Structure 1
Amino acid sequence: MKALVRLVLLPWRGHAVVMLGGLTLYAIALWLAVFLGPDATLMVFLPLFLLAMQLLGLLLGRVMAPLLINESLLLPNFRRRLVQAGLLIWSGLFGLTAAVLSGSGHETFIPIAIGVGTLVWACAVAMSVEKIYLAVILVLVFGPQLVAPPQLAMVIAGLQSGWASVLLVFSGALVLWHAFDRRLRPRDPREAGSPMAMVNSRWVRSPADAHAHARGPGALLRAVFEGGADYTLQRAIKRQRRRDTPWRRAVLFRAVLMPYDNVIGIILNTVLVIGGSVGLLALALYGGRATGAPAHVMAYMALIVARLRCTSMGASFARMRPHLADLYLAVAPERNASFQRRIFDTLATVIPIVAIEAVLGGVLLYAVLGDRSPGAMLGALAIAALGMGAIDLSMELLGPRGRAARFALMLFTMALYVGVYGLLYIACVWAGAPMGLVLTGVPVLAAAAGVFWLARDSFADQPPVFTPGA
Structure 2
Amino acid sequence: MNVTWQLWLQLFRRAPLLVVLAHALLLASLYFAIHWLRGEQRALYMAAPLFGFATWLWHTGQGYNLRGVCTPESFLLPHFRRRLLEYGAIDVALWVVLPLTIAAFAKAPFLSFMASGLVLVASFGVTMGCNPRAGIILWPAAIALGWMPALVNTLAKQALHSPLTPWLFLAIAALLLRLSTAPLMRIEDRETDSSPLESTSLGRMQSRNIPGESRRKGFLGKRIAGLYDHAAHRAMQRALTAYQSHPTWRRRTLLVRRLLLPNDNPEAIALRIALVAIIVFFYFFVMMHRPHFQPTVIGAYAIALCISRFPQLNIGMARMRPNMADLYLTLAPDTRAEYQKTIADALLVLVPISVLTALVYTALGAVLVHAPDPWRMLFVAAIVSLAASLVALSLHLIGPEGTTGRTIVNFVVMFGVMGVYWGGYWLVNTLGYAIGGGLLTLVTLGFGGATRFAAEREYLARPPRFDAPIG
Task: Give TM-score scaled by structure 1 length.
Answer: 0.71
Counterparts of 1:97 and 1:304, CA distance in 2: 42
* Residue type at the aligned position of 1:7: L
For 1:169, the equivalent position in structure 2 comes to 173
Counterparts of 2:109 and 2:452, CA distance in 1: 51
For 2:20, the equivalent position in structure 1 comes to 20
Where does the alignment leave 5 or more consecutive residues of structure 1 unmatched? Answer: 196-211
For 1:7, the equivalent position in structure 2 comes to 7
Q: Deviations over 1:291-330 (max 9, x none)?
A: 5347578777655543443344443333333322332233
Counterparts of 1:344 and 1:255, CA distance in 2: 14
Match of 2:270 among 254, 258, 267: 267
Counterparts of 2:158 and 2:299, CA distance in 1: 29
User: Is the 1:391–1:451 Cα contact (8 Å) retained in structure 2?
Assistant: yes
* Residue type at the aligned position of 1:351: V
Match of 1:79 among 78, 81, 91: 81
Deviation at residue 349 of structure 1 after TM alignment: 2.1
1:125 paired with 2:130, answer: yes
Counterparts of 1:14 and 1:452, CA distance in 2: 34
User: Is the 2:362–2:377 Cα contact (8 Å) retained in structure 1?
Assistant: yes
* Residue type at the aligned position of 2:326: D
Greater CA deviation, 393-402 or 134-143?
Answer: 134-143
The aligned runs of 1:321-360 (5 Å cut-off) are 321-360=321-360
Counterparts of 1:52 and 1:400, CA distance in 2: 34
Once the two structures are aligned, what percentage of the paired residues are identical?
Answer: 20
Distance 1:215 1:140, change over 3 A: closer
Deviation at residue 229 of structure 1 after TM alignment: 1.1
The aligned runs of 1:88-237 (5 Å cut-off) are 88=90, 115=120, 118-119=123-124, 122-127=127-132, 132=133, 135-136=136-137, 139=140, 147=147, 149-150=149-150, 162=166, 165-177=169-181, 179-182=183-186, 185=187, 187=189, 216-237=219-240
1:460 paired with 2:465, answer: no
Counterparts of 1:215 and 1:368, CA distance in 2: 30
User: Is the 1:143–1:280 Cα contact (8 Å) retained in structure 2?
Assistant: no
Q: CA RMSD in A?
A: 5.0
For 2:429, the equivalent position in structure 1 comes to 432
1:243 paired with 2:246, answer: yes
Deviation at residue 248 of structure 1 after TM alignment: 0.4
- Partner SS, residue 333 of structure 1: coil
* Residue type at the aligned position of 2:270: I
Q: Deviations over 1:81-116 (max 9, x none)?
A: 34544565577567789899999x997999778646
The aligned runs of 1:281-320 (5 Å cut-off) are 281-283=284-286, 289-290=289-290, 292-293=292-293, 302-303=302-303, 305-320=305-320
Counterparts of 1:57 and 1:305, CA distance in 2: 28
Distance 1:189 1:279, change over 3 A: closer
For 2:410, the equivalent position in structure 1 comes to 413
Counterparts of 1:158 and 1:442, CA distance in 2: 61
Counterparts of 2:41 and 2:300, CA distance in 1: 32
Task: Give TM-score scaled by structure 2 length.
Answer: 0.71
Q: Deviations over 1:338-397 (max 9, x none)?
A: 211221232232233333333333333333334566456555655554444444434544
- Partner SS, residue 334 of structure 1: coil
* Residue type at the aligned position of 2:74: S
Distance 1:425 1:213, change over 3 A: closer
Distance 1:19 1:170, change over 3 A: same
* Residue type at the aligned position of 1:368: L
Counterparts of 2:320 and 2:384, CA distance in 1: 29
* Residue type at the aligned position of 1:240: Y
Distance 1:430 1:225, change over 3 A: closer
The aligned runs of 1:52-63 (5 Å cut-off) are 53=56
User: Is the 1:122–1:172 Cα contact (8 Å) retained in structure 2?
Assistant: yes
Distance 1:152 1:312, change over 3 A: farther
Where does the alignment leave 5 or more consecutive residues of structure 2 unmatched? Answer: 198-214
* Residue type at the aligned position of 2:256: F
User: Is the 2:59–2:122 Cα contact (8 Å) retained in structure 1?
Assistant: no
The structure with the larger Rg is 2
Greater CA deviation, 10-19 or 148-157?
Answer: 148-157
1:255 paired with 2:258, answer: yes
